[in-house]
């Protein structure tokens, strides 16, 4: 009997071990899929940020090298200068809300000033029920916020105590559900419940303006207990690309332009960092090997208008300047005489022409970085020499340090190198963390800026802590949000959450599968818009034009075109179904990419591909040229947009092609083009998601 019991127990133990081993392998496979999915989302996001900075650097080059009176410069000059009307008393008059009446039909919240806790609470409830605040109150809140921010220091200092905890939140990115959930779980800001919000309140999500109004409202009521740090998305140029500008203009068609201008001013006055008990530094992005809080404390932060652009004059060869003048001259002038110099590149030979260029916007960007303290030759940042560099005590150090503070990311290796992934700021290692924190007698750096799967993550021997508060950032189930509670012991305690009820009801397998499908759809869109370049790259491995290449060659060619740093050989089975005897049939695969074509007939396929590749750049330029923020541009402005883009890409797009395109999308034939309708007409949709 005892022998039977022993065998029974032994069998049960073996069965339990087998189940445990199976479950661990199952969870490990899911974790691999989750990490791979994460890499896809993050690589595509950072590629977009690189694209944004390259475009903006191109604009900066135009500003530096074209005469002030030139029409090319005037196309974009307004984004580089402060609006002349917004000064002192004129500023107050221009943004005055008193002439705006609130009609009796208005059903939203009515606010009184000075703001009270009751007033902000009403605002929170109204936004929870999707009500819209009247433009008069919006301008009034923003005006009061601007007046308050002007007297705040660059670095806010606050003290902890044993009777109350400080709550620290990371990126919210327009996701109002996350902010409301934080308030539900943690309580509203008050003197007994101080908050630090660490930047990136806006863009991507649909309720960026509501988040700002709530945070500004609490800031006005509790200026000593609510602290707002600036993020890299608190920049009106970034907002052109990532949705906040479009959101404001859509919600406030009459007064949207004034609201945006006032927000532009407010963003430039947001504090840059917060320090708790002289021991914990909170900044949006991070630090670099040149970070000096004493320098940052003295920066005229509102004068450093562009937080990702190195505003330095650069010297370039006379030929390159003349060549660029020739290229961009076509933005506003039609010329019947042939231009001098090398022949212009067309869309069809863009891929090969890039390999033979002596100068490019990338080269210009690298030169700007070297002047900003980056040594591209060795991949290390040079510390500015204060004795020899005339700008080292002027604008160079403040602007570079602000870029580092808002854009940088930590890395596991020692050192400090340019952040080539994002295109701005730097990567800094644990040695830099030790040196900077030690020099300022700090024990912890809390930063945001990077989405983390669990909402938070320690690195650098637990001396750097990333906090991210926008849950489901990439897709439902992609990540948790989190916030920090910190008491007098300065030990961070984390609260995690998922704002989506749908996600909370999913199993782990369902959540990973949902997110994985979304990531693969985004990746297919990237593959689709690079079809021509991919076919050329595959052809390098297929000299006999068989249409067949090996999986390793497929992976190498795909990475050489997309440059996303992804494990393509691992991803191939999920992306490519056309295989023959273990080889990739890339010609058949290209036909299978299930992406919708535009609603319009476009005969020039190269133009169509350019439009898809540069969808975000096009929208950014459209909104820059649309100076009155009407959402409509004329045929001539449409032509200028395409000419500016073609100069940025160093390609040629003829006026006839542009004119035909403009006429085809002028749906009501009134001589103007609706920006939103145009962008929607060429939005890519993965048909496989609906099959």
Given CA atoms 259, 260, 265, 271 in this order, what sign does their dihedral have? positive
Q: Which of 173, 233, 309, 449 is catalytic?
A: 233
Beta-strand runs (E) in 107-165 = 155-158
Q: In the Cβ-directed half-sphere of 635, how many Cα atoms lie within 13 Å?
A: 16
3-state class of 526 per DSSP? Answer: helix
Cα 153 from Cα 274, distance rounded (Å): 10
CB 368 within 8 A of CB 351: no
Q: Torsions phi, psi of 478, nearest 5?
A: -70, -30
| C-alpha separations of 342 from 54, 361, 646, 647 in Å | 24, 17, 16, 15
Question: Who contacts 298 (Cβ-Cβ below 8 Å, separation ≥6)?
Answer: 154, 398
Other C-beta atoms closer than 10 Å to the C-beta of 12 total 10
Determine the Cα–Cα distance for residues 333 and 343; give it in Å rounded to an integer. Answer: 18
Residue 457's DSSP bridge partners are 466
Do strands 273-276 and 280-283 pair parallel, antiparallel, or not at all (unpaired)?
antiparallel
In whole angstroms, what is the distance from residue 368 CA to residue 112 CA? 49
The token pair that represents 250 in the structure block: 């859509």
Residue with tokens 């330029």: 621
- Burial class of residue 98 (count of CB atoms within 10 Å of its CB; 0-12, 13-18, 19+): exposed
Cα separation, 319 vs 619, in Å, equals 31
389 Cβ neighbours under 8 A, 6+ residues apart: 396
Is the sign of the CA dihedral 332, 336, 340, 346 positive or negative?
positive
Question: Do 606 and 536 touch, CB atoms closer than 8 A?
Answer: no
**Burial label, 28 (beta-carbon count in 10 A; 0-12, 13-18, 19+):** exposed
**156 φ, ψ (degrees, to nearest 5):** -80, 140
Query: Cis (ω within 30 of 0) for the bond into 456?
Result: no
Can you list the positions of beta strands (E) in 411-463? Answer: 416-418, 426-428, 444-447, 456-459
| Contact of 233 with 173, CB cutoff 8 Å | yes
Q: Which helix (H) or strand (E) holds 276?
A: strand 273-276
For residues 486 and 160, the answer to whether their CB atoms sit within 8 Å is yes
Residue 173 designated active-site: no
- Pick from 536, 511, 661: which is nearest to 598 by CA? 661
Q: What Cα–Cα distance (Å) separates residue 23 from each residue in 18, 19, 321, 507, 555?
A: 9, 6, 63, 14, 31
Residues designated as active site: 233
């Amino acid at each position: 009997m005892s022998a039977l019991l022993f065998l029974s127990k032994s069998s049960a133990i073996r069965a339990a071990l087998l189940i445990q081993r199976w479950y661990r392998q199952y969870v490990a496979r899911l974790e691999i899929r989750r990490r791979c999915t994460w890499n896809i989302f993050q690589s595509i996001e950072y590629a977009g940020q690189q694209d944004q900075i390259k475009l903006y650097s191109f604009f900066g080059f135009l500003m530096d090298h074209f005469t002030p009176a030139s029409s090319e410069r005037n196309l974009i000059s307004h984004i580089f200068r402060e609006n002349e009307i917004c000064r002192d008393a004129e500023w107050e008059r221009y943004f005055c809300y008193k002439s705006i009446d609130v009609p009796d039909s208005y059903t939203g919240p009515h606010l009184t000033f000075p703001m009270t806790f009751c007033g902000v609470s009403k605002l929170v409830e109204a936004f929870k029920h999707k009500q819209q605040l009247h433009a008069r109150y919006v301008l009034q809140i923003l005006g009061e916020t601007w007046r308050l921010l002007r007297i705040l220091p660059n670095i806010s200092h606050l003290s902890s105590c044993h009777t109350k905890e400080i709550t620290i939140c990371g990126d919210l990115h327009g996701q109002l559900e996350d902010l409301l959930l934080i308030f539900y779980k943690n309580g509203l800001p008050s003197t007994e419940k101080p908050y630090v919000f660490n930047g990136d309140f806006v863009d991507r999500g649909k309720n960026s303006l509501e988040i700002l109004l709530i945070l500004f409202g609490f800031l006005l009521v509790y200026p000593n207990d609510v602290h707002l740090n600036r993020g890299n998305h608190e920049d009106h140029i970034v907002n052109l690309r990532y949705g906040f500008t479009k959101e404001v203009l859509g919600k406030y068609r009459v007064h949207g332009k004034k609201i945006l201008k006032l927000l532009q001013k407010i963003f430039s006055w947001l504090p840059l960092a917060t320090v708790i008990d002289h021991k914990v530094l909170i900044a949006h992005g991070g630090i670099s090997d040149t970070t000096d809080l004493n320098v940052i404390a003295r920066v005229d932060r509102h004068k450093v208008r562009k937080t990702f652009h190195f505003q330095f004059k650069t010297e370039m060869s006379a030929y390159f300047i003349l060549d660029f003048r020739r290229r961009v001259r076509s933005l506003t002038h039609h010329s019947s005489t042939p231009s001098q110099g090398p022949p212009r590149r067309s869309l069809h030979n863009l891929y090969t022409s890039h390999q033979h260029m002596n100068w490019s916007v990338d080269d210009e960007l690298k030169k700007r970085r070297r002047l900003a303290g980056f040594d591209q030759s060795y991949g290390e940042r040079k510390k500015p020499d204060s004795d020899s560099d005339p700008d080292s005590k002027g604008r160079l150090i403040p602007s570079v340090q602000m870029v580092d503070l808002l854009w940088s990311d930590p890395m596991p290796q020692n050192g400090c190198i340019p952040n080539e992934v994002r295109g701005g700021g730097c990567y800094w290692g644990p040695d830099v963390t030790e040196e900077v924190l030690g020099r300022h007698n700090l024990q912890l750096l809390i930063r945001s800026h990077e989405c983390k799967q669990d909402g938070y993550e320690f690195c650098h021997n637990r001396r750097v802590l990333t906090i991210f508060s926008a849950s489901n950032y990439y897709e439902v189930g992609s990540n948790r949000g989190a916030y920090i509670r910190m008491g007098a012991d300065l030990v961070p305690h984390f609260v995690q959450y998922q704002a989506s009820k749908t996600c909370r009801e999913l199993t782990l397998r369902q959540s990973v599968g949902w997110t994985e499908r979304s990531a693969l759809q985004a990746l297919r869109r990237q593959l689709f818009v690079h079809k021509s370049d991919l076919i050329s790259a595959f052809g390098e491995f297929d000299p006999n034009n068989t249409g067949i290449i090996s999986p390793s060659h497929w992976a190498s060619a795909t990475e050489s075109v997309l440059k996303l740093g992804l494990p393509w050989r691992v991803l191939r089975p999920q992306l490519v179904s056309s295989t023959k005897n273990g080889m990739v049939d890339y010609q058949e695969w290209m036909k299978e990419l299930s992406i919708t074509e535009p609603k319009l007939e476009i005969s020039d396929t190269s133009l169509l591909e350019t439009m898809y590749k540069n969808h975000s750049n096009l929208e950014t330029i459209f909104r820059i040229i649309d100076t009155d923020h009407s959402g409509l541009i004329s045929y001539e402005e449409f032509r200028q947009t395409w000419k500016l883009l073609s100069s940025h890409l160093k390609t040629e797009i003829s006026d006839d092609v542009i004119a035909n395109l403009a006429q085809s999308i002028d749906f009501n034939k009134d001589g103007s083009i609706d920006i939103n309708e145009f962008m929607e007409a060429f939005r890519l949709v993965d048909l496989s998601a609906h099959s």
